[in-house]
Structure 1
Amino acid sequence: MARGFEIVSDYADQQLHLPYRTTKQAAGYDFEAATDFTLPSIWKLNFVKVLWQIRHQQTSQPAELDAAAAALKPWLVPTGIKAYMNPDEYLLIANRSSNPLKRNLILPNGIGVIDADYYNNAKNEGAIYVQLINMGIRDVHIKKGERIAQGIFTKYLTADNEATVTTTRSGGFGSTNR
C-alpha cells in the first residue's frame, strides 16, 4: 500500500495543501490548518477563579468546576487531511517546535497516534485533527494554511504471543474503547 496523504471529501474544493517536508532531511510532514481558527486562552475562562478557590481552600460549585474543566479541554483544529499507510505503521502527530515557544500552543496528549485503520473509517473518513490548548494569555488566531503540527510515519512492533485482536475501528478519538 505504501503511505501518503489525501484530502478528505468535505475539503475537496478548499485548495488545501497535502502535508509536506520543508527540508531534505526533515522527518516530519508539516500539517496546515484547513480553516481559520481561534484558540481561546485558558486564562480567560473560569479556570482562574477555580484555581484561586483551590489555593484558598474554598469550595467550588459543580458548575464552576465544570466550566474550569471545559477551559482545559483541547480544541480540535481541522487539517482536512487523511493518511494511508501499511498495516504495520502509524502516523505520529507531533507539535511544531515553534508552537510552545512562539505561540504558547501545546498538544495536551504530547503526541497523536493515527493508526492505519483510521484511514477511510465509516464515521469520519479518517479526517485528522490536531488537539491544541492555548496556554498564553491572549487568544491565538490561526489562519487557514498556517502550519500547526507535523506528522512522522513510523513502523511499530507487536509482542510475541499476543492474543488475537478482533476489534475493528468505528471512528476516532477513543472509538476503540472496550
Structure 2
Amino acid sequence: MEGRGFEIVTTYAGKHIHLPVRKTAASAGYDIEAAEDTVLAPQAVTIVPTGLKAYMEADEYLAIHIRSGISIKNGLMLVNSVGVIDSDYYNNPDNEGHIMIAYYNTQSEPFSIAKGERIGQGIFVKYLITRDDQAQGSRIGGFGSTGLR
C-alpha cells in the first residue's frame, strides 16, 4: 500500500466508525473517535478502542496525541505520553493493526467516553535512521510486540 491513510478494522466493519479527518486546512492532526462507549476508572489505565488501523510509508509512523480539550478539562492523560504506531503495525497478524489508546484517569471519579467522541489525534511523521542501522524483520504482534529490550 502506498501513501498513508486510515481503514476500519474487520471487527468494527458495519459499526458506524468514522475515518479520521482534519478539521481545518492548517490542522496537523486527524481527529480520532472512540469506537465504543468506555468508562475510564479513577486512577487507573483503560484502553479505548478506535476501530481503526493506519497505513503509511516505511519511513513514517503515526503519532497518537490526546486532544487538549479532553485532557485539560477532565484530568486525563495518555499512559505513554505519545503513542507510536509503526508502519509494520498495519495488518499485523495479532490484531490487524487495531489502534487502541491507553488513558490514565487522574481523577477520583470515573470518566465516561461515548462512542464517536473525539478522543485523540493522529499525526503522520517522517523519521530518519542511522547510517549503520541493522534492523531486520517485521512485527508479528500488537502492544509491546518488539520485546522488552
TM-score range relative to shorter protein: over 0.9
Report the TM-score, using the length of structure 1 for normalisation.
0.80
Is the Cα–Cα contact under 8 Å of residues 31 and 147 in structure 1 kept in the other structure? yes
The code of the aligned residue for 1:33 comes to A
**Is 2:145 aligned against 1:170?**
no
Is the Cα–Cα contact under 8 Å of residues 39 and 134 in structure 1 kept in the other structure? yes
The code of the aligned residue for 2:120 comes to A
2:92 counterpart residue number: 121
Q: CA deviation at 1:134?
A: 0.7
Identical columns (%)? 52
Q: Deviations over 1:105-157 (max 9, x none)?
A: 10021100000000000110000000101111221110000011100000000
The structure carrying a bigger helix percent of its residues is: 1
The code of the aligned residue for 2:80 comes to N
Q: Deviations over 1:6-47 (max 9, x none)?
A: 0000000101100111111100001000000000111xxxxx
2:42 counterpart residue number: 41
Cα distance in structure 1, aligned partners of 2:110 and 2:72: 15
* 1:98 aligned counterpart, secondary structure: helix
The code of the aligned residue for 1:170 comes to I
Q: CA deviation at 1:100?
A: 2.1
**Is 2:67 aligned against 1:96?**
yes
Cα distance in structure 1, aligned partners of 2:35 and 2:123: 19
The code of the aligned residue for 1:134 comes to N
2:104 counterpart residue number: 133
Q: CA deviation at 1:174?
A: 0.8
The code of the aligned residue for 2:121 comes to Q
Is the Cα–Cα contact under 8 Å of residues 167 and 176 in structure 1 kept in the other structure? no
Is the Cα–Cα contact under 8 Å of residues 3 and 86 in structure 1 kept in the other structure? yes
**Is 2:14 aligned against 1:13?**
yes
Q: Which runs of 5+ in 1 are unaligned?
A: 43-70
* 1:101 aligned counterpart, secondary structure: helix
Report the TM-score, using the length of structure 2 for normalisation.
0.95
* 2:102 aligned counterpart, secondary structure: strand
The code of the aligned residue for 2:113 comes to I
2:54 to 48, 63, 83: 83
Runs ≥4 residues deviating over 6 A: none
Task: Give aligned pairs, total.
Answer: 147
The code of the aligned residue for 2:135 comes to V
2:83 to 109, 112, 122: 112
* RMSD (CA atoms): 1.0
